[in-house]
A and B are shown apart, each in its own frame.
Chain A
Amino acid sequence: MSTVKKFLGLVWMILGPLAMGFLLMQALDKVGLAHSDMERTNTILQWGIILFIFFPISIGLMVFGYYAWKGEYDQLADHSSD
């Protein structure tokens, strides 16, 4: 199980930047498709919110993957103070 945890850690580390890239491309695409000024403003606002929120979370996923790769989750504490 430790090996699975470790190698899945790599997946999470890769998934973080992939998610960021995907969101950024979607944002550029959707803003580009907007026609009127009002529609463009709304689209920028919507995607701005999404990027602002999900970028830090994607970085968190990379950190989580890094910890998993380093074996931090191989032996979890049985007690909250451990």
Chain B
Amino acid sequence: MFGFRCESTKLVPKWFTIQIKIIHHLFITQMFILGNQIFLFMSETLPKNNIFKVIGASSLGTLIEWYDFYIFGSLAVIIGHQLFPEDAGASALINTLAIFAAGFIVRPFGALVFGRLGDLIGRKYTFLLTLVLMGGSTFLIGLIPSYQSIGYAAPILVLILRLIQGLALGGEYGGAATYVAEHAPKNKRGFFTSWIQTTATLGLFLSLGVIVITKNVLGADAFADWGWRIPFLLSILLVVVSIYIRMKMHESPMFSKLKAEGNVSKNPLKESFNNKANFKMVLLALFGATMGQGVIWYTGQFYAQSFLENTCKLDFNDSRYILLWGIAFATPFFVIFGAWSDRIGRKWIMLSGMLLGIIFYRPIYQVFLDDTDTTKMDLTEAKYSAPVLKREQIAGIQDSLYTSITHVVLKSGASFNKVQVDTISVKSGIHPAQEFIQDKVLPTPIFWKFVGLIFFQILLVTMVYGPIAAFLVELFPTKIRYTSMSLPYHIGNGVFGGLVPFVATLIASFSGSTPLSGLWYPIGIASLSLIIGTVYLSNKKDETIND
């Protein structure tokens, strides 16, 4: 992710520095809001079981879990360098991404393990446990010694911790959504659960913010060396606060009632999946809603960033700032669509988000490609810096790599680095390699155009994701709700959604494919889900979930 950057040739535009300051302010404001929530929670002026207290406490923990889950992916390249031998090259990244993907794949198993626990012993203690597991494993990833110190034990330990993270997340979300929904009045279930829905996006925002700020404060070298551990270690502080808050929470009233009446499920897994009436709803939730919702979510928030950085070759900061602005503008819409779904039903809002994604993804990504294509840029009056030269010995042989980097600034304000890597062979002389362009910085109007396009994609995310917690909660009865809703959610999001960057990148690498070919995966899955949802889903809301 950090790739090779020639800092010395890079002229940082003034507006870039201003953006860093704004991100700092946004981040500090968010921290202030969180601090206020904590203060309000601890204050005795709030009545017990106040719904906002329930939402605040649930959301804070869920937000931290998302933060923990995402920092690993955002730091994949650096972690790859730390965990694997120095000469592993690209395979280090692939292996690190495989470890990252493992976290997604085990999410449905976490849903089964912790969902069952939540239906047996209660929501409160189960998602307290998931929070401890998530926070503990994140903190420990920050302490893992490098490959140079402990060899292959390093990646193995990280893989184990990553699996624990995935299991914990699989248990957390269903618990938080169920807990809030079971406290919410029937006509505001969409509105109240939508606050939980904002946490996934805010968790990503927080992780990107912490990484960008830490890197800018420490500098690229110190961050790559040891600073990358800070975002992981910071997690423990957030988790301690969240555990304290959750310890003070009460059990869900519906579950407490069920427990008092002795109606708690004896075997939630069997009742969820061995009972045809319930299992058919699990399948419907997966194929008619969460599958399409998952790919829309991960395309808008993850594939978009990966595409801008790896395919369009945008600068590290530019690609993240575009996403941060898009998230900042779009996040309120989770609550707006959640509340709207209380009035008009959940179905059509979610399906409209899928339809718009199917229609607009390819045109949007075509604009990304066109506007970052340096061959279409006006190079007259471009300023070229003196090339920065670097020579590196290739490990194991006497040949070396000769890198020349020229920084180019265009009249429009755009800039990029032109890189040429030649191989110097002791036996056969110089072998010129292909030139490539990296670290593109966009001119201001294009930058904001991209922010608009990312905003639109995240708006679609808010449409599909805002109402889904209420939708899932209403599909299943209280005694097996945690188990039943968690599985389709995590297959839809963890598997179909989580694999979007991986599968889309894989498709785009096939011979004969174009950079946009990868989009056929989210478009195809969303189309299937749209058809199934349109034909089979009901738009009716379940008014009483107290069953």
Residues of chain A having any CB pair with chain B under 8 Å: 1, 4-5, 8, 12, 30, 33, 38, 42, 45-46, 49-50, 53, 57, 60-61, 63-64, 67-68, 72-73, 76-81
Whole-angstrom CA separation of A81 from B509 in the bound complex: 47
Pair A5/B495 contact, Cβ less than 8 Å = no
Pair A61/B545 contact, Cβ less than 8 Å = no
Pair A73/B91 contact, Cβ less than 8 Å = no
Q: Does B477 contact A (CB under 8 A)?
A: yes
Q: Give me 18 other A-B pairs in contact (C-beta within 8 A), A61-B287, A68-B536, A79-B547 excluded.
A: A4-B535, A45-B98, A50-B499, A53-B105, A57-B491, A63-B283, A64-B280, A64-B284, A64-B287, A64-B532, A73-B536, A76-B538, A77-B281, A78-B538, A79-B542, A80-B474, A80-B481, A81-B477
What is the CB-to-nearest-CB distance from B468 to chain A, in angstroms, rounded to a whole number? 15
Q: Does B355 contact A (CB under 8 A)?
A: no
A33, A50, A73: the one within 8 Å of B284 (CB): A73
Q: Which residues of B contact A42 (CB under 8 A)?
A: 91, 94
Pair A64/B283 contact, Cβ less than 8 Å = yes
Whole-angstrom CA separation of A68 from B503 in the bound complex: 29
Q: List 5 A-B contacts (CB under 8 A).
A: A46-B502, A60-B283, A64-B287, A72-B280, A79-B544
Whole-angstrom CA separation of A39 from B469 in the bound complex: 41
Which residues 26-57 in B have Cβ within 8 Å of A in the complex? none
Pair A72/B276 contact, Cβ less than 8 Å = yes
Mark interface residues in B193-219 (1 if CB within 8 Å of A CB, else 0).
000000000000000000000000000
Q: Does B377 contact A (CB under 8 A)?
A: no
Interface residues on chain B, number (Cβ under 8 Å): 36
Q: Which residues of B contact A5 (CB under 8 A)?
A: 535-536
Q: Which residues of A contact B538 (CB under 8 A)?
A: 76, 78
Mark interface residues in B299-335 (1 if CB within 8 Å of A CB, else 0).
0000000000000000000000000000000000000
Q: Which residues of A contact B544 (CB under 8 A)?
A: 79
The residue of chain B having its C-beta at the shortest distance from the C-beta of A63 within the complex is: B283
The residue of chain A having its C-beta at the shortest distance from the C-beta of B104 within the complex is: A53
Whole-angstrom CA separation of A1 from B283 in the bound complex: 19
Whole-angstrom CA separation of A4 from B531 in the bound complex: 11
The residue of chain A having its C-beta at the shortest distance from the C-beta of B498 within the complex is: A53
The residue of chain B having its C-beta at the shortest distance from the C-beta of A38 within the complex is: B91
The residue of chain A having its C-beta at the shortest distance from the C-beta of B537 within the complex is: A76
Q: Does B540 contact A (CB under 8 A)?
A: yes
Q: Does B475 contact A (CB under 8 A)?
A: yes
Mark interface residues in B114-147 (1 if CB within 8 Å of A CB, else 0).
0000000000000000000000000000000000
Pair B286/A60 contact, Cβ less than 8 Å = yes
Q: Can you list the 9 inter-chain pairs with the closest CB atoms, starting with the nearest?
A: A81-B547, A64-B283, A76-B538, A81-B477, A67-B280, A80-B477, A73-B536, A80-B542, A72-B280
Q: Does B66 contact A (CB under 8 A)?
A: no
Give the one of A1, A5, A61 with max B CB within 10 A.
Answer: A61
Q: Which residues of A contact B284 (CB under 8 A)?
A: 64, 73
The residue of chain B having its C-beta at the shortest distance from the C-beta of A52 within the complex is: B105
Q: Does B386 contact A (CB under 8 A)?
A: no
Whole-angstrom CA separation of A24 from B475 in the bound complex: 34
A53, A61, A63, A77: the one within 8 Å of B499 (CB): A53
Which residues 70-122 in B have Cβ within 8 Å of A in the complex? 91, 94, 98, 101, 105
Q: Which residues of A contact B105 (CB under 8 A)?
A: 49, 53
Pair B475/A80 contact, Cβ less than 8 Å = yes
A33, A46, A64: the one within 8 Å of B506 (CB): A46
The residue of chain A having its C-beta at the shortest distance from the C-beta of B531 within the complex is: A8
Whole-angstrom CA separation of A30 from B532 in the bound complex: 31
Q: Which residues of B contact A33 (CB under 8 A)?
A: 511
Whole-angstrom CA separation of A65 from B281 in the bound complex: 13
Pair A80/B547 contact, Cβ less than 8 Å = yes
Pair A57/B474 contact, Cβ less than 8 Å = no
Q: Which residues of B contact A64 (CB under 8 A)?
A: 280, 283-284, 287, 532
What is the CB-to-nearest-CB distance from A59 to chain B, in angstroms, rounded to a whole number? 11
Q: Which residues of A contact B283 (CB under 8 A)?
A: 60, 63-64, 67
Whole-angstrom CA separation of A61 from B491 in the bound complex: 13
The residue of chain B having its C-beta at the shortest distance from the C-beta of A41 within the complex is: B91
Pair A78/B545 contact, Cβ less than 8 Å = no
Q: Which residues of A contact B287 (CB under 8 A)?
A: 12, 60-61, 64
Whole-angstrom CA separation of A79 from B477 in the bound complex: 9
Give the one of A42, A73, A80 with max B CB within 10 A.
Answer: A80
Q: Which residues of A contact B450 (CB under 8 A)?
A: none
The residue of chain B having its C-beta at the shortest distance from the C-beta of A67 within the complex is: B280
The residue of chain A having its C-beta at the shortest distance from the C-beta of B480 within the complex is: A80
Whole-angstrom CA separation of A57 from B105 in the bound complex: 13
Q: Which residues of A contact B94 (CB under 8 A)?
A: 42
Whole-angstrom CA separation of A33 from B491 in the bound complex: 30
Q: Which residues of A contact B532 (CB under 8 A)?
A: 8, 12, 64
Whole-angstrom CA separation of A60 from B532 in the bound complex: 14
What is the CB-to-nearest-CB distance from A81 to chain B, in angstroms, rounded to a whole number? 3
With contacts A80-B474, A80-B542 known, is A73 near B101, CB below 8 A?
no
Q: Which residues of A contact B510 (CB under 8 A)?
A: 30
Whole-angstrom CA separation of A73 from B284 in the bound complex: 9
With contacts A45-B98, A60-B283, A63-B283 known, is A78 near B536, CB below 8 A?
no
Mark interface residues in B487-508 (1 if CB within 8 Å of A CB, else 0).
0000100010001001100100
Q: Does B476 contact A (CB under 8 A)?
A: yes
Mark interface residues in B511-542 (1 if CB within 8 Å of A CB, else 0).
10000000000000000000110011010101
Whole-angstrom CA separation of A12 from B286 in the bound complex: 14
Mark interface residues in B272-287 (1 if CB within 8 Å of A CB, else 0).
0000110011011011
